[in-house]
Amino acid sequence: MPESDEHVFLGQTFLSIVEDFSKLALYGYSEAERRKFDFACTLTRDWQRALVGQTLWSSRSGMDKDIRSFLGDSQSRIWAYIVRDDIKNRRLLSEIQDDLQRSGRGQEWAKLRVFLVPADFDSDVEEARDLVRQVIKRDIVHDLLFNIVFGHLTIEMINLVCGGLRNIGLATAILNEITTNGFISIRELSRRFAISAGPIREQVTVLKAAGMLWEPSHAYFGTLRGRVFLELAKQLARQQAAQLESASNDALPDDRLLFILEELGFRRETIWAAAMLYHGFDPRLCENPRAVLTPYVRLQANILLAQHRWGVDLENTKFIIHPSETP
C-alpha cells in the first residue's frame, strides 16, 4: 500500500526539526539507515543514541506490527512513534502498554516516545502543515530533547543553581571545573577559586540538589543534565559576547535557542529585556536582596561572572564522564 502524503510529510518533518535543533551544538545529528522503519537518525550527546521511527496514519491495524518492530530492534535507544490522534489509537496504545506490563516488558515502554498529530490533518493545506510542524516541534523539544537527550533539564533546576544572592556564578564555575578538569578535593577547588572551603561546599550541595553533580566512588562528576547546562551556558555566553561587541541593544538569541529557552519556561519578554540591559548591566545587582530580577537575568549574570569573576572558560566542553554513564 503506497504511503499517503501525510505519512511522508510527518516523517520528513520530524527528522528536519531534530536536525535543525542540532545546529545549536547541544547535541549531534547524523542520518542513519532506515532498515525496516519509516525514518531513522543518530543523536550524539556524550555518546550515540540510535533513533528509529514509525508513522501510523492510514492503517489502524498497523499499530501492533509497528510495536513488534520496535520491540524486535535491539540496536536503537529511542523509538519515535508518530500517531494519528483519535480515541481508538489512544485506546490501542493503552492496551499495548498494559500487555507489556503484564508480560514483564514494561521497562521497554520507556524507550517509546509517542507524537500525536491531529486526526484531521491534511498535508495539502499550508495552514495545517504549519500547525503540525509547531505541534511536532514542541513535542520533540519537551519529550525527546528535555527528557532524554538533555537529562531532564528544567527551569527549576537552573533557578536553583543561579538564584543565590552570594558568590554569583560560583556554582557554574565549580560545575565547569569539575566537569572539564575533574575533581581532586574541596581544598583544591578552594585554592582554584581563591575562596574558603565553606562557600565551595555550599555550592557543591546546590549542584547535587539540582542533579548537575553526582558522587560515585568518593569523587564528583558532572551529570548529563549538568553537561547540557554548561553547553547552554556556552551558547548564551557567545550571545553575550556578540551583544557587547555590537552597537545594537536589541539582539535576541538565535531562533532555535530562543525556542529552547521559552519551552524551558523563560518568558520572551524577559529575554528581550535582558538583551536590552547588556551594555549597562552590572551583574553584582543580583547580590542585592531588594533587587527584583527575572530568572533569565540571574542566569545571564551567573554566566557572565563565572567567566569574568571566577575565570572559567565556558568554551571548553571536553567533558570528563564517569564510565558507568556510558552505554
What CATH number matches the domain at 155-325, 1.20.120, 1.20.58, 1.10.3470, 1.10.10? 1.10.10
> Half-sphere exposure of 234 toward its Cβ, with a 13 Å CA cutoff?
17
What are the DSSP calls for 205-233, one per residue? HHHHHTTSEE-GGGS-EE-HHHHHHHHHH
Q: Which three cell numbers stand for residue 223?
A: 551529570
Mind listing the pLDDT tens digit for each residue in 12-71?
999 999 999 999 989 999 999 888 899 999 999 888 889 999 999 987 668 989 998 999
Q: Which three cell numbers stand for residue 304?
A: 557572565
User: Reduced to 3 states, what is the DSSP secondary structure of residue 183?
Assistant: coil
Q: Which three cell numbers stand for residue 111?
A: 524507550
What's the pTM value of the predicted model, to 2 decimals? 0.86
Could you tell me where the DSSP H helices lie in the chain?
Answer: 5-22, 62-71, 87-102, 126-139, 155-162, 170-181, 186-193, 197-209, 224-245, 255-264, 268-277, 295-308
Q: Residues 162, 164, 169, 175: is their CA dihedral positive or negative?
A: negative
Higher pLDDT pick, 267 / 17: 17
User: Reduced to 3 states, what is the DSSP secondary structure of residue 269?
Assistant: helix
The amino acid at residue 224 is: L
> For residue 178, which of 210, 195, 152, 200 has the smallest C-alpha distance?
200
Q: CA angle at residue 148 from 21 to 18, to 5 degrees?
A: 20
On whether the CB atoms of residues 66 and 39 are closer than 8 A, the answer is no
Question: Where in the sequence of the chain do the CATH 1.10.10 domains occur?
Answer: 155-325
The amino acid at residue 254 is: D
Would you mind telling me the total number of residues written for the chain in this entry? 327
Mind listing the pLDDT tens digit for each residue in 112-153?
999 999 999 999 999 999 999 999 999 999 999 988 888 899
Please state, as a whole number, how many other Cβ atoms lie within 10 Å of the Cβ of residue 59. 13
